[in-house]
Amino acid sequence: MSGGPLLDVRGLAAGYGAVRVLRSFDLVADAGTVVGLLGPNGAGKTTLMLTLAGLLPRLRGEVLVGGRLLPSGRPAAANRAGIVLVPDDRSLFSTLSVRDNLAVASRRGGHTLDEVLDLFPALASRLDLPAGALSGGEQQMLAVGRALVQKPRVLLIDEMSMGLAPVVVEGLLPVVRRIADETGAVVVLVEQHVQLALEVSDRAVVLVHGDVVRSGPAAELAADRGALEAAYLGAGKASALS
């Protein structure tokens, strides 16, 4: 393994065909780092995640994992390099059981069933239920667990809190911190609950209309609420920072 950063994104531009959504994105993250990716709807966050995962071809720039340059627009190559995406729709096999959802994704060296249940004990009594019968919070636990059995080096989680009650989110986000600390993976977390995301992140990046408008240590962004509010939301939308 390279002695440099685990994830190195250089001058990344991304979009759909001729439509450029993300203009120039740089990110350097060492092993065990949680990066909070923040910004309003339409900022380019999901486009970035899909591009890092190889599901969209890069329009420009480079993505390196462990010093290895990844080919553009090749999801199988990105996955082999250790990039695993938890999409915002979770993409579970709804008719398969929890146990089978984990089994079909498992990879040698990834989390075992017992390790997933240690992180998400609520799934222990749900193992034989179809994924479609789970609550939203349980489905998100399963989606993250299914990513972990693939032995991620870079774990991309797009909108962990989508459709979930705040109390559920408060229980799930600390697990992200634990995953990074225990596995050494880089975790890139797209999250609309800004303050909660900053609490578990090491670094944060704020995207607005495809541009990075603020980045730095998460604690600094959390402490400067006024500047974060101006950069992230603009006037009249402060409630999202609660």
Entry pTM: 0.91
Considering only CA atoms, which of 86, 51, 85, 44 is closest in space to residue 70? 51
| Distance separating alpha carbons of residues 113 and 108, to the nearest angstrom | 12
CA distance 18 to 1: 36
Cα–Cα distance measured from residue 54 to residue 186, given in angstroms and rounded to the nearest whole number: 17
pLDDT tens profile 10-27: 999 999 988 899 999 999
Give pLDDT tens digits for 95-143: 999 999 999 999 989 999 999 999 999 999 999 999 999 999 999 999 9
pLDDT of residue 133: 96
Q: Is residue 150 situated within a structural domain? A: no
Cα–Cα distance measured from residue 133 to residue 94, given in angstroms and rounded to the nearest whole number: 8
| 93 found inside a domain | no
**pLDDT over 50 (residue 35):** yes
Residue 214 lies in a domain: yes
Range of the domain at 40: 1-80+186-236
In terms of Cβ atoms closer than 10 Å to its own Cβ (0-12, 13-18, 19+), residue 223 is exposed
The angle at the Cα of 105, spanning 102 to 110, to the nearest 5 degrees, equals 85
Does residue 145 form part of some domain? no
Predicted confidence band of residue 85 (pLDDT cuts 50, 70, 90): very high
* 222-225, long-range: CB < 8 A, 24+ apart: 222/195, 222/198
CATH number at residue 59: 3.40.50.300
Q: Which of 50, 108, 106 is nearest to 74 (CA)?
A: 50
Domain count, the chain: 1
